[in-house]
Amino acid sequence: MKKIHQLAFLLVLGSILSCSGQSKKTPTPVVAPPLVPLEDKKWSFETSPVWADEFDNEGAPDPKKWDYDIGGGGWGNNELQYYTNSTANSSVSNGKLTISAKKESMGGRDYTSARLVTRNKGDFLYGRFEIKAKLPAGLGSWPAIWMLPTDWAYGGWPNSGEIDIMEHVGYDPNVVHISTHSLAYYFKINTQKTAVKTVPTAITDFHKYRVDWTPYAIRGFIDDEQIFEFVNEGKSFAEWPFDKRFHLLLNIAVGGDWGGAKGLDPTIFPAKMEVDYVRVYKMIDK
């Protein structure tokens, strides 16, 4: 029935245009192109890092590779810490980076910590990102190894995306999360793409946290075991803003909407995340 009605409409329209001296040409209907699934080209990665920090210096993290986000204000999650660039909160020694959250007052906050970023010193579009780390313990700690967009091309969070290589909250010890967030899929509307794995020694031993990011998918691994996959649906930036450059972040938050959801134990401080290395391998394009 619908096709019959449409045909009748076009015939009437053609008659009207003819009487007014206009062309009888029938307008071409606009048809949306079919959604073509992306092809997984099985991209591989170079075997030598294109960017890395083995933390073989002493003192402050290498300023050629790392910068800092500084300040309090809750960071969008009602967090309790004030981030500093002090070696009291982030320092390198004996081949490891240590990020320390401490119970001390600064900037109107009762805790200090550090949030290291590679923004404008290490920005990447696709690649393999591998970090070996030991996580802090304690109720109220919220360490993360993650990525944010450098240019925010699609707008503010979550429009331009977020990649969480590792997240851990102290009230759920040794349970590690790998996630992605975008406008269509993020935690505030409970649609985030997430995988969870219990790593029995995450807070006592070093483990390798990794993300392989290609045009087709973001895949997450713990100790080389894949636990996460989010495939590009080929729709729009709302689902997949992951076609722009991102940078790395390492931090420990204190409390907050998630980290402090079950309270905070002030006796756990200083809470420390140790990082053995950070390595980034370039994707080999096809």
Checking if the pLDDT of 6 tops 90, the result is no
Catalytic residues: 162, 167
Residue 170 has pLDDT above 50, yes or no: yes
Residue 224 phi/psi, 5° resolution?
70, 10
Residue 12, phi then psi, degrees to nearest 5? -65, -45
Q: Is the domain covering 48-284 a CATH 3.40.640.10 domain?
A: no
pLDDT value of residue 37: 60
Q: What is the mean pLDDT of residues 25-39?
A: 54
Amino acid (one-letter) located at 177: H
Token pair belonging to 152: 């925010």
Task: Provide the pLDDT confidence category of residue 36 given band limits of 50, 70 and 90.
Answer: low
In this model, does residue 78 exceed pLDDT 90? yes
pLDDT for position 204: 98
Residue with the larger pLDDT of the pair 17 and 104: 104
Mean pLDDT for 194-198 is 98
pTM of the model: 0.87
Q: 190 or 13, which is more confident?
A: 190
Contacts of 230 (CB under 8 A, 6+ apart): 180, 185, 193, 217, 218, 219
- CA angle, 41 then 42 then 43, to 5°: 90
In terms of Cβ atoms closer than 10 Å to its own Cβ (0-12, 13-18, 19+), residue 26 is exposed
Q: How far is CA 74 from the centre of its chain?
A: 19
| Structure confidence at residue 237 (pLDDT) | 96
Give residue 17's pLDDT: 35
**Average confidence score pLDDT of the chain:** 90
Higher pLDDT, 209 or 23: 209
- pLDDT over 90 (residue 232): yes
Distance between CA atoms of 275 and 178, rounded to whole angstroms?
17
pLDDT at 2: 38
pLDDT class for 38, splitting at 50, 70, 90? confident
The mean pLDDT value for 164-179 works out to 98
Q: Is the pLDDT score of 52 beyond 70?
A: yes
